[in-house]
Structure 1
Amino acid sequence: MLNPSCCPLLFYKIFPFLRWWPMVNKASNKADLIAGITGAMIVLPQGVAFATIAGMPPEYGLYAAMVPAIIAAMFGSSWHLVSGPTTAISIAVFAAMSPLADPGSPQFVSMVLTLTFLTGLFQLILGLARMGVLVNFISHTVVIGFTAGAALLIAASQVKNFFGIAIERGAHFHVVIEQLVLQFGNINPYVTAVGAVTLATGILAKKFIPKFPYMIVAMVVGSVLAYFINLEFGVEVTKIKTVGALPASLPPFFLPDFSYATIHKVVFPALVVTMLALTEAVSISRAIATKSEQRIDGNQEFVGQGLANIVGSFFSGYASCGSFNRSGVNYASGAQTPLATVYASIFLVLILLLVAPLASYLPNAAMAGILFLVAWGLIDFHHIGSIGKTSMAETVVLWVTLLGTLVNLEEGIFFGILLSLSLYLYRVSRPAIDPVVPAKEEGAYHFVDAHGHHECPQFRIVRINGAVFFGAVDYVQNGLTQIDESNPDQKSVMIVASGINFIDVAGAEMLAQEARRRRKMGGGLYFYRCKDSIYKFLRKSDKLDDIGEGGFFPAMSNWIKPIYSTLDPEICRNCKYRIFPECQTHLPDGEARTA
């Protein structure tokens, strides 16, 4: 057995499975075998369903769960993440590629495998460049909105199969709804009965026998019902179509189309699938890791997913990523190491060789019923309701993403990301600028909110929380300028700077400009509890001469004494507030107070 202490750190990066390989033993092998069998049973109906969503021949959904799953398990960082076809990726593939070629055709399959290769290449480059942080910029709200929109597109794509009506494949969501209404009188009762019974069976099986794969139960019941209906009335009357027999073979080797014309067409959709796939993979692996108490390396996950799609594209596997359902089942089944995923892929091959001919009895209507159930499960009603109650801005992001996805899947998610980032930048470009006053407790060095307290007529203290960068410069400068515009006597300002965590060149220049402006007015700009990093940046950018070395006061220092001496004695003479201790005994010029 390999000893990790003998392997250089570079080996762990190139062969990450060396980290967990020492964990493999007889007990873990037994647990992984059981988890692998369970995983193979789960992915069988899912793979066929997902391939149907993607517009691929049914067997390609199973191919995508074989070789890519093994590569992702061996070269990723998660012990429990299981990769393969998913609903979101499948609908993204269908929406992006169906306008370019007829779904299911050889040209369509070839272009999808090219897209898969490019997706893997982009993922690998991002991983090697250590850009795993990128997925943090896709907000949870955008993912929820996109997933809900994708779920509605899944359901819309199956309306014709569920009701037995003629709708052009790849029709837009609103066209599907329109055609359903127009052709309501042409609904095929036999086809609809099979779909409805399959749907109802899936719902009941999921509720009452949750440990058993509800999709398999629903498929069997729907297939048996369709068989007897066809036996009774004849296929010519019922017009119940089936998926057709799956080829009982290993994933065939396929060389993606690397022509310029094809790459030019699929490169943008590949970018969309890349970000969506990485978001899913990293999010799912982190969610599972919180239960298994494992540390996830986002960059290594990028590498693992990239290699999985690159290699998978040569073995007829269309774009894959981490699957929440399969990963959750894998962990719940007691998987100890990624070998569980390897075993699941091997068992899937064996199952395919045994049951492939039975797919000829699976009606398209039954598949539609199952996909309706899948689509319903994708819509996160709980979080959608929660977002609607808590944040108007996030609600707008949610619905823009959802509705945008219904119109155009690729543009929908990008609009959602762009709007989400825009709202974030708007918030960070408006750091809090709150007036404060010294706490009245004896010996206290902290400040309290100025609302409800008297402030010095000549001296304003404000607390700034946030970054003072190029996007926030104008807002902060306006906030400081408004102080003397509303009260011309407040020529001096002290910033409680403990909440300023970042400053750039534009921010430093603005503060220097403000200091010069206030000095010309006869006042000054001062800082209390400025972080060392901020102070060093101001010094490196040569702004301390403008602000003044004496304008910075550390925590628990006597800042009021030097500032008080710069104030106008005549204004202090008639001031009734006297909020500072010095105000009680003498004027700024040293004259003792008489009363």
Structure 2
Amino acid sequence: MSLSLDNCPSCKLWLYRVFPFLRWWPMVNKDSNKADIIAGITGAMIVLPQGVAFATIAGMPPEYGLYAAMVPAIIAALFGSSWHLVSGPTTAISIAVFAAMSPFADPGSPQFVSMVLTLTFLTGVFQLALGLARMGVLVNFISHTVVIGFTAGAALLIAASQVKSFFGIAIERGAHFHVVLEQLIMQFDHLNPYVTTVGAVTLATGILARKFIPKVPYMIVAMVVGSIVAFLINLEFGVELTKIKTVGALPAHLPPLSLPDFSYATIHKVVFPALVVTMLALTEAVSISRAIATKSEQRIDGNQEFVGQGLANLIGSFFSGYASAGSFNRSGVNYASGAQTPLATVYAAIFLVLILLLVAPLASYLPNAAMAGILFLVAWSLIDFHHIRSIGKTSKAETVVLWVTLIGTLVDLEKGIFFGILLSLTLYLYRVSRPSLIPEVPAKEEGAYHLMDAHGHHECPQFRIVRINGSIFFGAVDYVQNGLTQIDEANPDQKSVMIIASGINFIDVAGAEMLAQEARRRRKLGGGLYFYRCKDSIYKFLRKSDKLDDIGAGAFFPAMSNWIKPIYSTLNPEICRNCKYRIFPECQTYLPDGEPRTTDA
């Protein structure tokens, strides 16, 4: 008897986790193949100039940007969960790689390349480990504001790194952002007009091409025009005078096999940068795949995406690919081009190899100034002006997070994103450690069990009703306890308090102890602490932690129960006798001791 996977759901689930491409493989047919091939050709055309540009940003030889878009892209497509995410070299990862590795070796040198491959390998190991440990939820702790701030900072660093190539001035490679600005101002009278002309024409061409011929890859158009302008200028004035340098011919072959440096000294240097690249790459991949999934109506598995990205970087490090991640531009184009399955990414990598074999020698005509102009365009497009303005208008706290991340990135890219994450989490913890305590009173409609905000209404002089929205955990205990204590400090007659607990989702041991302590304190005052609409999970936790004896099992009232009558009977009749408010129905007919009301207070 043959075993069918349909009869063994657990076997099927296990197989899908190990080979996730089996989920979408049945979708492949003649029509989907045609759509994927068209999308693949488009993707290959786009990644050609981007790969060269991003490798330049990373301090790697230009061809390594193309290598990173071949094997790693295929692995990520086959073992990830998104049908449209395209992985490969990206701007943020490239600038992170350059910032992390340039202090240890000269960019572009064999030692630098070897260290970057080691960083890529470790990044893959970390990503794969997080995926296998089902830790995909970690990226949720990196706020969108931090990503926007980091990306804007990285964009400015990209632009700064290309200032010398765009204007033809001498600036030390890897110089800090403020140093680049200082040198640009100091050497402004010594700009190379020929180099600057090539860069400016390339920049203008890219802007116009993107606006007026959006269906044609604007980077390729800008590269071609910039190369032609540089060729004509050199033809007219001579290379000795113009000093227009070119990228140089690219090797026309498949990605060569490579071996990362596994020496202790190298691993010790790149471990921390690898952690930075790991979280940055995973954030990019998951956020991009989720953004596209909202359009394609596909469910994304964050853990599987971690595994796919991890395998892509781990295996890619042995095929000359430096750290890769999900690319928003290429993924968006992939979806817009009609890609049906991840085979579109596989086809894009194959077509990229064919294109590289054909056009590699032409890179010798590509001026560095033209590449700088293109990277200025890339940097500008990375800055999310819309969301930056929106954050500035809506939240002061988020604005602080944004600028701390952005400025921190300009000072030290590795630590900038961590400062942003730390500040963002600190503000989050501050907010959740201050759950709202809202005074309420019974709704006016007769017989209703509903409550409403006490603002503008009279409260009972002896009894406070307060709604707590938020969790009562160790970080919030002091705030909640102070809020409850201030009730009887402001009005000593309000010795009894009832907490509307429907908004309390979580209580830890410290929170349970605080509630028990508050209940004991109020009993000593002659009052009590009560709970209305407490969740079963909260009640069970209080019972397991042995706090019900302190609070009292009779202090809990379920929804739609008559909590007014038993609590009203505990109040002071003499205070009630002279009360003018009478907010409870019982107040209108009798006093807490059962004495009928005979006169109006």
* TM over 0.5, shorter chain: yes
Tell me the distance in 1 between the aligned counterparts of 2:133 and 2:325: 19
- The aligned counterpart of 2:433 is 429
Point out where structure 2 has 5 or more consecutive residues left out of the alignment. none
Helix, strand or coil at the partner of 2:549 = helix
- The aligned counterpart of 1:273 is 277
State which of 115, 125, 142 in structure 2 corresponds to 1:111: 115
Helix, strand or coil at the partner of 1:195 = helix
State which of 573, 576, 590 in structure 2 corresponds to 1:572: 576
Query: Aligned-pair distance for 1:5?
Result: 4.2
Q: Which amino acid aligns with 1:241?
A: K
Tell me the distance in 2 between the aligned counterparts of 1:4 and 1:45: 45
Helix, strand or coil at the partner of 1:527 = strand
State which of 153, 163, 167 in structure 2 corresponds to 1:163: 167
Tell me the distance in 1 between the aligned counterparts of 2:245 and 2:403: 36
- The aligned counterpart of 2:339 is 335
- The aligned counterpart of 1:129 is 133
Tell me the distance in 1 between the aligned counterparts of 2:298 and 2:308: 17
Tell me the distance in 1 between the aligned counterparts of 2:12 and 2:534: 43
Helix, strand or coil at the partner of 1:526 = strand
Tell me the distance in 1 between the aligned counterparts of 2:523 and 2:466: 18
State which of 219, 240, 243 in structure 2 corresponds to 1:236: 240
Alpha-carbon RMSD? 0.8
- The aligned counterpart of 2:15 is 11
State which of 365, 371, 375 in structure 2 corresponds to 1:371: 375
* CA deviations over 1:316-356 (Å, ceiling 9, x no partner): 00000000111111111111111111111000000000000
Helix, strand or coil at the partner of 2:470 = strand
Q: Which amino acid aligns with 1:143?
A: V
Helix, strand or coil at the partner of 2:506 = strand
Query: Aligned-pair distance for 1:381?
Result: 0.4
Task: Say if 2:76 is the partner of 1:72.
Answer: yes
Task: Say if 2:536 is the partner of 1:532.
Answer: yes
Task: Say if 2:391 is the partner of 1:387.
Answer: yes
- The aligned counterpart of 2:594 is 590
Tell me the distance in 2 between the aligned counterparts of 1:329 and 1:5: 36
Query: After TM superposition, what 4+ stretches of structure 1 lie above 6 angstroms from structure 2?
Result: none
Query: Aligned-pair distance for 1:406?
Result: 0.2
* CA deviations over 1:242-284 (Å, ceiling 9, x no partner): 0000000110101100111000000000000000000000000
Helix, strand or coil at the partner of 2:108 = coil
- The aligned counterpart of 1:310 is 314
1:87-98 → structure 2 map (5 Å cutoff): 87-98=91-102
Tell me the distance in 2 between the aligned counterparts of 1:5 and 1:168: 63
Q: Which amino acid aligns with 1:253?
A: L
State which of 169, 192, 199 in structure 2 corresponds to 1:195: 199
- The aligned counterpart of 2:328 is 324
- The aligned counterpart of 2:355 is 351
* CA deviations over 1:502-552 (Å, ceiling 9, x no partner): 111100000000000000111000000001111111111111111111100
Q: Which amino acid aligns with 1:39?
A: G
1:135-146 → structure 2 map (5 Å cutoff): 135-146=139-150
* CA deviations over 1:179-222 (Å, ceiling 9, x no partner): 00001111000000000000000000000000000000000000
Tell me the distance in 2 between the aligned counterparts of 1:405 and 1:541: 46
Tell me the distance in 1 between the aligned counterparts of 2:118 and 2:281: 16
Tell me the distance in 1 between the aligned counterparts of 2:582 and 2:360: 89
Q: Which amino acid aligns with 2:282?
A: L
* CA deviations over 1:425-474 (Å, ceiling 9, x no partner): 00000000011000010121111111111111110000000000000000
* CA deviations over 1:109-158 (Å, ceiling 9, x no partner): 00000000000000000000000000000000000000000000000000
Query: Aligned-pair distance for 1:78?
Result: 0.5
State which of 491, 500, 504 in structure 2 corresponds to 1:500: 504
* Preserved contact between residue 4 and residue 18 of structure 1 (Cα < 8 Å): no
Q: Which amino acid aligns with 2:580?
A: K
Task: Say if 2:151 is the partner of 1:150.
Answer: no
State which of 411, 418, 421 in structure 1 corresponds to 2:422: 418
Tell me the distance in 2 between the aligned counterparts of 1:390 and 1:437: 32
Tell me the distance in 2 between the aligned counterparts of 1:84 and 1:490: 65
Task: Say if 2:519 is the partner of 1:519.
Answer: no
Query: Aligned-pair distance for 1:574?
Result: 1.2
Helix, strand or coil at the partner of 1:502 = coil
* Preserved contact between residue 43 and residue 326 of structure 1 (Cα < 8 Å): yes
CA spacing shift, 1:251–1:4, aligned 2, 3 Å: farther
* CA deviations over 1:347-376 (Å, ceiling 9, x no partner): 000000000000000000000000000000
CA spacing shift, 1:189–1:4, aligned 2, 3 Å: farther
* Preserved contact between residue 4 and residue 19 of structure 1 (Cα < 8 Å): no
Q: Which amino acid aligns with 1:54?
A: A
- The aligned counterpart of 1:560 is 564
Tell me the distance in 2 between the aligned counterparts of 1:317 and 1:18: 26
Task: Say if 2:258 is the partner of 1:286.
Answer: no
Tell me the distance in 1 between the aligned counterparts of 2:476 and 2:268: 39
Q: Which amino acid aligns with 1:181?
A: I
- The aligned counterpart of 1:461 is 465
Helix, strand or coil at the partner of 1:252 = coil
* Preserved contact between residue 124 and residue 302 of structure 1 (Cα < 8 Å): yes
Q: How many residues align?
A: 593
Query: Aligned-pair distance for 1:9?
Result: 2.0
Helix, strand or coil at the partner of 1:448 = strand
- The aligned counterpart of 2:476 is 472
Tell me the distance in 2 between the aligned counterparts of 1:33 and 1:593: 87
Tell me the distance in 2 between the aligned counterparts of 1:534 and 1:526: 14
Query: Aligned-pair distance for 1:8?
Result: 2.7
Tell me the distance in 2 between the aligned counterparts of 1:438 and 1:8: 55
Tell me the distance in 2 between the aligned counterparts of 1:381 and 1:576: 58
Helix, strand or coil at the partner of 2:469 = strand
Query: Aligned-pair distance for 1:582?
Result: 1.0
Query: Aligned-pair distance for 1:4?
Result: 6.9
Q: Which amino acid aligns with 1:178?
A: E
* Preserved contact between residue 435 and residue 462 of structure 1 (Cα < 8 Å): yes
Q: Which amino acid aligns with 1:127?
A: G
State which of 397, 403, 412 in structure 2 corresponds to 1:399: 403
CA spacing shift, 1:47–1:127, aligned 2, 3 Å: same
Helix, strand or coil at the partner of 2:290 = helix
Task: Say if 2:188 is the partner of 1:211.
Answer: no
TM-score by length of 2: 0.98
Tell me the distance in 1 between the aligned counterparts of 2:295 and 2:493: 60
- The aligned counterpart of 1:31 is 35
Tell me the distance in 1 between the aligned counterparts of 2:591 and 2:572: 9
TM-score by length of 1: 0.99
Between 54-63 and 30-39, report the one with greater CA deviation: 30-39
Tell me the distance in 2 between the aligned counterparts of 1:445 and 1:456: 16
